[in-house]
Structures are given as C-alpha cells and as structure tokens.
A and B are shown apart, each in its own frame.
Chain A
C-alpha cells in the first residue's frame, strides 16, 4: 500500500529542495541562537574538560 503510494509520486526532485529549505531554516535559527547566547554559559561549557575539581551547574547559573 505504502509502496504503491510512493511509487506514484512524481517529481521526486522536489524532496531534496524541501530538505534544503529545512536545512537552511534550521541553521539560520541555530546561528541566531548561538550569536545571542549567554557569555557566561559559553565560558562554563568551554571550561568543562579543564575543571579538575568538583563542579556542577552552579558555576554559571548561580548569579
């Protein structure tokens, strides 16, 4: 049944174009979020592997 439906789809080329649009929109959103994101949060994330002592979310979320 499903196979028959998909077999009858024409202009299959439109699917890559749709997904290209999904891709562009997703990355515009992602870029926008990254540029606006909190500096303290970025600093905290950057330092995660470096931290030898104990720590958790306190370091950047406690203000």
Chain B
C-alpha cells in the first residue's frame, strides 16, 4: 500500500505568543482596576479624588478589561494554537491574524481611554460608544473569516468538537453585538439606543446573558475540549455526550436572558420563558462539566502533581458550580432575594475567577513550555499560584454571599408595627462593609498569584528557545466521497459553512422568538398618557447621570414587593420608560433605588448630597461628586440630541430643537438656580449639578400627575 503524499507546512506560534502576552498584561490591568473599585466600596476616598477614577466610571472599565481584554485575548491565543493543529493547516491568513491582534488591542486601548472619560452607552458589558462598536464588529469578522478560511483549506476531514464551539461563539457574538449595539449617533462619542425602556432592557439582557454564554462559556468549552485532554494525555470522556451537549447548550442558552429581568416591568410571558429555559440549561452545562471531569478518570494521580491539571479541575468545577447556581438564581423565589445584591457579584466571579481565570492559567502554563521548547521554570511557584488563586476566590465569594443574604433580609424585614425594620437604606449597606474589605483582600490574593505566574513564565522563556514556526506535515485533503450509511451530522461536520449556518439558525430561533414580539407587539408595553418626554435640561441631566455611571450603584426599577413599595413608593410600570434611551434599571443596588426620588427631597438636599454625601447621609459610602458644581455644560449638543430623539420617535414638537429647546432649558435652569439661591446656595445655571438635579427631581413623577389613566395601546386601538 502506497503512503499518501505528505504536504509540509508550519504553525504560527508568534501570534499565540502575542495573544498570550496580551492576556497576561490586560489581566493584570483588569484585576488592578477591580481591586481599586472593590476598595472604593468601603473607602470612597480611594477614587483618588477625581472623576476619572471614580467607581461609576472604572467599574465598566474593570468588566470590559476582564471580559474582552483578559478573556478575549485568551480565547484568541487558545484558538490560534489549537485550531491549526486540529485541522492540520496553518491559519488561513497571517495578515488577518495580525489585524485581529492589533485591532483588538486598539479597541481595548480605546475602552481604557473613553470609559474613564465618561463616554459610555451605559449598557452593561456593551458600554463602548458607536465608533468602537463598529471597530469591534470589523475585527470580530476578521477573526471569523480567518477561522472559516482555515476550515476551507484544512487537511483533516472532520471538525473536532472544540471547533464547533469556536464557530458557534463567532456567529452568536456577531449577531448579539450587532443587534444590541443598534443606536443612532448624535456625535462622534454620543448615541441613543434604537430601543427604549422595556425593549431596550430585553435586548440588553438578551445580549448581556449571551455575552456570558458565548464569550465566557462556549469558547472556553472549546478550549477545555482541546487543552484538558492534552494536559491529561487522554481523550475526552465521551464524544457522544459532547455532540449532544454542544447543540443543547447553544440552542437553550440564547433563551435565558430574561431571567435578569424577573419582577420587572418585562411582560410576564418573557419572564416565564427565561426561567424555564434557565432551568433546562443545567442539563447541557453539567454535560460539559461531567465530560471534562470524567476525562480525568484514572488520571487523578496526575492532578496531584501537575499544576496545569489542578487549575483545570478547579476551572471545570467552578463552571459546574456557577451553572448550577445560575438556574437556581433564575427561580423567581430565589431571584426575589438575590437580585440587586452581591449574590450576583459572587456568582459572576465564581465564573470569572474560577472558570475563565483558572482555565486560562492552566492553558498558559501548558502552552509556554511547549512554545519555548523547555520545561516550566518552577512547579512550586505554579502550585503557590494555584493556592493563592483558590484562596482568593474563596475570600472573594464567601463574604459576598454573607453580604447578599444579610442585606437582602434587612431590606425585607418588617417590625411588629408593620413598618420597615431598616427604613434607612444606608443602615443595610454599612452592615456589610466588613464583607467588602474581605472581598478586596480576596482580589489582592488572586492578583498576587497572577504576578507569581508572570515571573514563572518569564523565567520559563529565558530557559528555552522560542519556536516561532512549528513544522508539521500531513496529506492533502481528498475530495470527499459520500459513503453508504453516512448521513446528517456526519456529513455536516465536513461542511464548515453549512455547519456554521446551522449553528446560526439554532441560536436565531431562540433570539427571534423572544425579541421580535416584544419589540413589535405594542400590547407588550402599555402606555401611560401622563408620561411625557424629558425636558431639555432633564435630558442633559440624564446624560450626566449616564456619564458618571450612577446606574452601577442605583437601580431605577421598583419591584412589586411590599418591602420595596414601602421603602420607595409605587412599583415601576413598563409604560413609564417609553422615553428612556437607554433604559437605566441597573443590576446592583449599592445605594437605594431612585425611580421615585423625584420630589422626595428639596433641590438643596441634592446639591449638598453631591458636594459631600456624608453631610446628608452620615457614614455614606458614596463618593463626593463636587466637580459637578464647578463643571459647566455648553449645551451645544442639545439640538442634535433632540433631533436624534425625534428620529427615534420621541414626540418633541417640530422645530423644537432649533430654538425653543434651549429657551426651555435656560428657563428651567434659572428656576432651579433661583430656588437654590433662596437656600443660600450660589450655583451657575449651566453647571452639571443643575441639570442633574432637574433629572433626579423628574424621576418617577409622571404617574403622580392628576388624571393619569393607564391604558394599553391595543385597547386604544
């Protein structure tokens, strides 16, 4: 029998090295910013005394740095190493690889600059403004094109399961990013969401949840299916399970987003759907976990000595814990306690620190010695990293669970007189301050471990010689001949384009079923006739609120619980948000809900509260926003903002932007300024604080107007 002719080619390790280094550098940046943010929660002065490093602005910087910079670069490093080897082909285009690399780093750099400047859409994990959104789409497509090109020129007939996960992640992230980022630009760095209120919330959490699903989970499952067997030196436990697990996961995940909006103004049918599919998610998620852990059957002795496997075992276990906890949190009764508390923060950090972080570390420890053709510099140091990281996770998560339960139960407690036991929200925050200190300590431990890893990896590179081009050889792929008995999946797997289309259809079914009816069926959002668009000054104030990331600590969504209506007032209705672009319901309450704050305090209270929160609320952990008093707004962008909102359907009168808007703004600003003067406060009418006060005083007041009948649009028809 003659041997087939072998083709010679090489793998590009240089791009893997660059992505790996970027992973490490941005990882440290993301963790440092995280520690700074965590510290500010018990020591507000740690904002370094300026607006650019205050919690509201650096919290999105932390999440973006960790998700897109740390995890994103790790995905690329992992894919650019494993995919060519699984397909026996170099990546399709070196140029696209480098466009991917430098494009992604530039995007991250632009996030590092724009987020502290307050240039944000405020939509969680999608805060970047529209020009950067476009850049993300372009670079992401370059990545996808490179993958598909590699698949087309591959030398291995069938696509291993890791590649299915890579492909599904690529198409889904593209779809999610594009739909969630639909917005109308006002200027180069300002836009308004194409969706308003409830619809914006649904689209955002359809995206937000699936960013977790298709950026933090499915690519990592792909990495797990490659690197875990490699590290354990044995094949995956069950390939059949991986096939079922893959399709079930990508099909079901896309439906689960509405569990972020339980007890909100989202239509009930969408909430129920979110809960049902979230519960079902346990099955495929645990399918993946079980498949990973059972791969190590008979190899547990290796886990004892190999730090790579140690990291991976904890990663897969953390994945299992987080994916059990997720469905649990989506049960309405559990969600009623956990939502808006640190439970959610603990939950995402089990995933982030445990699953993503530890799998990344395991992968890097495995890759580095191979790419430098040497051994790891120190197993001892890697073990020290492992234990510091593990302790870091525990010190982070456990206090957060205690904090969450303590605070949530305090929010809900009534005394024997039937009144709230803790009517002052601040009491509940101060109770958990020690837990916040433990959390920051956990972060420091985790970062210390990472720094040890950097030292270890640098030393490893010094010991070896980098293999930039790794040679290999394989026979060219012959034209497939259909064989008897081959059908369905067997055939699909050697048709990458068709397979990609199939995966896209699977994710689009869930997405479309939820999104289209909510956006288009008017009866989902009952209108309230007394709800009116924001005045020009309120609009400017709202943008100041957005710029400073107030949504990171304050929700604007009062749930229909007695404990909440007692504390805040009437619960929030869908029809109250029809002019909210973007929605600002929030996802964590470090301070109280603000939806009914309008009219609750005099203007002077807000002035003093922003100047120094502790004068109005002794012990408050909110930072001072004193710059709002001296910082002026030129309001030059107001006409463009009004025109943009008109295009989106906000019923400002025709020609309003060209003159009357500015007159109205000046009049309202002068009224507020005059009122403050009576309270012995001198402030310029065009200062940021005046606009912010206008917005805060408007919040939740529309339904208090007389004759405010509620009617649904469908009934009106």
Binding site for B on A (CB under 8 A): 3, 6-7, 9, 12-13, 15-16, 19, 22-23, 26-27, 29-31, 33-35, 37-38, 41-42, 44-50, 54-58, 61
**Is the Cβ of B156 less than 8 Å from the Cβ of A56?**
yes
Name the residue on A nearest B232 (C-beta). A50
**Is the Cβ of B509 less than 8 Å from the Cβ of A19?**
yes
Question: Hey, which chain B residues are within 8 Å of A23, CB to CB?
Answer: 251-252, 509
Residue among A12, A33, A41, A48 making CB contact with B160, cutoff 8 Å: A48
**Is the Cβ of B517 less than 8 Å from the Cβ of A12?**
yes
Chain B nearest Cβ from A25, distance in angstroms: 12
Question: Hey, which chain B residues are within 8 Å of A15, CB to CB?
Answer: 513, 517
The 9 closest A-B pairs by CB, nearest first: A57-B157, A46-B235, A54-B474, A6-B520, A48-B160, A12-B517, A46-B239, A34-B240, A19-B513
**Is the Cβ of B488 less than 8 Å from the Cβ of A33?**
yes
Q: A34-B240, A37-B240 are in contact. Are A56 and B88 (CB under 8 A)?
A: yes
Q: A13-B269, A15-B513, A30-B489 are in contact. Are A61 and B483 (CB under 8 A)?
A: yes
Question: Hey, which chain B residues are within 8 Å of A46, CB to CB?
Answer: 235-236, 239
**Is the Cβ of B6 less than 8 Å from the Cβ of A49?**
no
Cα of A14 to Cα of B582 in the assembled complex, Å: 29
B521 at the interface (CB under 8 A from A): yes
**Is the Cβ of A45 less than 8 Å from the Cβ of B473?**
no
Cα of A42 to Cα of B247 in the assembled complex, Å: 17
**Is the Cβ of A55 less than 8 Å from the Cβ of B156?**
yes
**Is the Cβ of B474 less than 8 Å from the Cβ of A49?**
no
B472 at the interface (CB under 8 A from A): yes
Cα of A33 to Cα of B485 in the assembled complex, Å: 11
B243 at the interface (CB under 8 A from A): yes
Q: A6-B521, A9-B517, A45-B239 are in contact. Are A31 and B162 (CB under 8 A)?
A: no
Name the residue on B nearest A23 (C-beta). B251
Specify which of A22, A49, A61 lies most central, judged by the most chain B CB atoms within 10 Å of its CB: A49
Chain A nearest Cβ from B248, distance in angstroms: 7
Chain A nearest Cβ from B530, distance in angstroms: 24
Question: Hey, which chain A residues are within 8 Å of B521, CB to CB?
Answer: 6-7, 9, 12
Cα of A37 to Cα of B242 in the assembled complex, Å: 14
B273 at the interface (CB under 8 A from A): yes
**Is the Cβ of B4 less than 8 Å from the Cβ of A58?**
yes
Chain B nearest Cβ from A15, distance in angstroms: 5
Chain A nearest Cβ from B394, distance in angstroms: 32
Chain B nearest Cβ from A63, distance in angstroms: 9
**Is the Cβ of A54 less than 8 Å from the Cβ of B473?**
yes
**Is the Cβ of A49 less than 8 Å from the Cβ of B155?**
no
Question: Hey, which chain B residues are within 8 Å of A47, CB to CB?
Answer: 235
B516 at the interface (CB under 8 A from A): yes
Residue among A26, A34, A56 making CB contact with B157, cutoff 8 Å: A56
**Is the Cβ of A57 less than 8 Å from the Cβ of B156?**
yes
Name the residue on A nearest B230 (C-beta). A49
Name the residue on B nearest A19 (C-beta). B513
Name the residue on B nearest A4 (C-beta). B520
Cα of A54 to Cα of B9 in the assembled complex, Å: 11
Chain A nearest Cβ from B505, distance in angstroms: 10
Residue among A3, A7, A55 making CB contact with B88, cutoff 8 Å: A55
**Is the Cβ of A57 less than 8 Å from the Cβ of B477?**
yes
Question: Hey, which chain B residues are within 8 Å of A13, CB to CB?
Answer: 269
Question: Hey, which chain A residues are within 8 Å of B489, CB to CB?
Answer: 30, 33-34, 37
B82 at the interface (CB under 8 A from A): yes
B137 at the interface (CB under 8 A from A): no
Question: Hey, which chain B residues are within 8 Å of A48, CB to CB?
Answer: 86, 156, 158, 160
Cα of A35 to Cα of B88 in the assembled complex, Å: 28
19 pairs from A and B in contact (CB 8 Å cutoff): A3-B520, A16-B273, A19-B509, A27-B247, A27-B248, A27-B251, A33-B487, A33-B489, A38-B485, A41-B158, A45-B158, A45-B160, A46-B239, A49-B86, A49-B225, A50-B230, A55-B156, A57-B156, A57-B158
Cα of A47 to Cα of B86 in the assembled complex, Å: 10
Cα of A58 to Cα of B4 in the assembled complex, Å: 10
B233 at the interface (CB under 8 A from A): yes
Cα of A49 to Cα of B225 in the assembled complex, Å: 9
Cα of A38 to Cα of B483 in the assembled complex, Å: 12
B419 at the interface (CB under 8 A from A): no
B161 at the interface (CB under 8 A from A): yes
Question: Hey, which chain B residues are within 8 Å of A33, CB to CB?
Answer: 487-489
**Is the Cβ of B473 less than 8 Å from the Cβ of A7?**
no
**Is the Cβ of A58 less than 8 Å from the Cβ of B475?**
yes
Cα of A58 to Cα of B474 in the assembled complex, Å: 11
**Is the Cβ of A49 less than 8 Å from the Cβ of B243?**
no
Question: Hey, which chain B residues are within 8 Å of A58, CB to CB?
Answer: 4, 475
Interface residues of B in 460-511 (CB under 8 A from A): 472-475, 477-478, 480, 483, 485, 487-490, 506, 509-510
Taking A23-B252, A41-B490, A58-B4 as known contacts, 9 extra A-B pairs with beta carbons closer than 8 A to each other, sorted by chain A number, are A12-B269, A16-B269, A26-B506, A33-B489, A48-B86, A49-B86, A49-B162, A50-B234, A56-B475
Question: Hey, which chain B residues are within 8 Å of A45, CB to CB?
Answer: 158, 160-161, 239
B600 at the interface (CB under 8 A from A): no
B522 at the interface (CB under 8 A from A): yes
Question: Hey, which chain B residues are within 8 Å of A42, CB to CB?
Answer: 239-240
Name the residue on A nearest B87 (C-beta). A48
Cα of A60 to Cα of B155 in the assembled complex, Å: 15
**Is the Cβ of A55 less than 8 Å from the Cβ of B474?**
yes
**Is the Cβ of B509 less than 8 Å from the Cβ of A31?**
no
Cα of A61 to Cα of B174 in the assembled complex, Å: 35
**Is the Cβ of A7 less than 8 Å from the Cβ of B82?**
no
B76 at the interface (CB under 8 A from A): no
B372 at the interface (CB under 8 A from A): no
Question: Hey, which chain B residues are within 8 Å of A34, CB to CB?
Answer: 240, 243-244, 489
Fill in one digit per residue for B201-238: 1 if any A CB lies within 8 Å of its CB, else 0.
Answer: 00000000000000000000000011001100111100
Question: Hey, which chain A residues are within 8 Å of B226, CB to CB?
Answer: 49
**Is the Cβ of A26 less than 8 Å from the Cβ of B247?**
yes
**Is the Cβ of B522 less than 8 Å from the Cβ of A7?**
yes
Name the residue on A nearest B514 (C-beta). A16
**Is the Cβ of B516 less than 8 Å from the Cβ of A6?**
yes
Specify which of B472, B485, B488, B520 lies most central, judged by the most chain A CB atoms within 10 Å of its CB: B520
Chain B nearest Cβ from A44, distance in angstroms: 7
Name the residue on A nearest B161 (C-beta). A45
**Is the Cβ of A50 less than 8 Å from the Cβ of B160?**
no
Specify which of A3, A22, A33, A34 lies most central, judged by the most chain B CB atoms within 10 Å of its CB: A34
